[in-house]
Amino acid sequence: MSVDGYSGAMPKILVIGTGGTISCAKSENGLEPALSVSELLRGVEIPMEIHTEQPFNLDSTNMTSRHWETLARLVRVRYDEFDGFVILHGTDTMAYAAASLSCLIQNPRKPIVFTGSMKPMTVEYSDAPINLRDAVRFAADERAFGVRLVFDGAIIDGRCAHKYETENIDSFDSVNNDDYGFFNTDGEICFFEEYSGETRFYEHMSDDVFLVKLIPGQKLCVPSNVRALILESYGMGGIPDYLMEDVAKLAESGVYVIVATQCAYGGTNLGEYAVGHVDFPIIEVGKYTVEYAVARARWALAKSHNYQKFTDLFRGASNI
């Protein structure tokens, strides 16, 4: 029997539950994760071999890099057993999660798919059943690969996902990059890329990364343990004159200074304006999302012990 784009034996998929809105039920304090991944799958008809894991059941607001390292290890340990993986995750930090897994499992030949929902599975007109079904169908397609986010019919590269909407079901966008694919009106999966390269697994990320969103006139207050500072600046990037001395001192002390932009699209270009020209080492994110810049910096810090190595690792991602 074949399913969609998969020929031969029925695909074998591991669905990993982590909590999030998709699993929520009402409590006296509001919505909170309650349903297990097995319970979520009961109401969704999926004609393939499904196995489940439930490493935790959390609101994604409580997720950290330690949880994403756990997910990466779980996928690595069971990688040879399954044709694809689906991770059910809360939407609030799903873009950070997909970015982190994109660093910890780079260029996977098998699909590792994040999905969730804006409404709990048990609510009328929930988007949960179709998102879950789409994610599993995509994970089972032999043409699929990479860390992806499947949501409301879109298939997004995990390095480019950004949540831009808090209520509507089409809450994610692919920033500075076309969607990897999509489900058309007939429910067929359309792909734009073919796999090449090799899969690489990594274990750890560092938490010594600090993100500061600049507001006009503010001063910097950076914790002492910070090794990489991401400044979410304005427009194409740049350092305000009144912060230049403070940022220079941080760079001279060994902190890796990274400049991002508060604009969702377009990326940084520090050479465009005079405020982007500095006399100390600085790294610009280019077209990375802030979510991916954070994940990339955390991953690069865990693997490097000097500025040049960190820079090479941070900017080493391709096709963004």
Q: What is the pLDDT of residues 280-299, one digit of tens each?
A: 999 999 999 999 999 999 99
**Other CB atoms within 10 Å distance of the CB of residue 272:** 13
The answer to whether domain 209-314 has CATH 3.40.50.40 is yes
166: pLDDT strictly greater than 50: yes
In which residue ranges of the chain is CATH 3.40.50.1170 found?
A: 12-201
CA 316 to chain centre: 17
Q: What is the mean pLDDT of the chain?
A: 93
pLDDT of 192: 84
Residue limits of CATH 3.40.50.40 in the chain:
209-314
Q: Residue 46's pLDDT is what?
A: 79
141 or 317, higher pLDDT: 141
Tens-digit pLDDT profile for residues 125-146: 999 999 999 999 999 999 999 9
pTM score, two decimals? 0.94
- In this structure, what token pair is assigned to residue 176? 């500075």
Which of 97, 155, 89 lies closest to 116, judged by CA? 89
* CA proximity to 310, closest of 201, 208, 176, 198: 208
Q: Enumerate the β-bridge partners of residue 13.
A: 50, 84
Task: Kindly report the length of the chain.
Answer: 320
State the catalytic residues.
21
Q: Which CATH architecture has domain 12-201?
A: 3-Layer(aba) Sandwich (3.40)
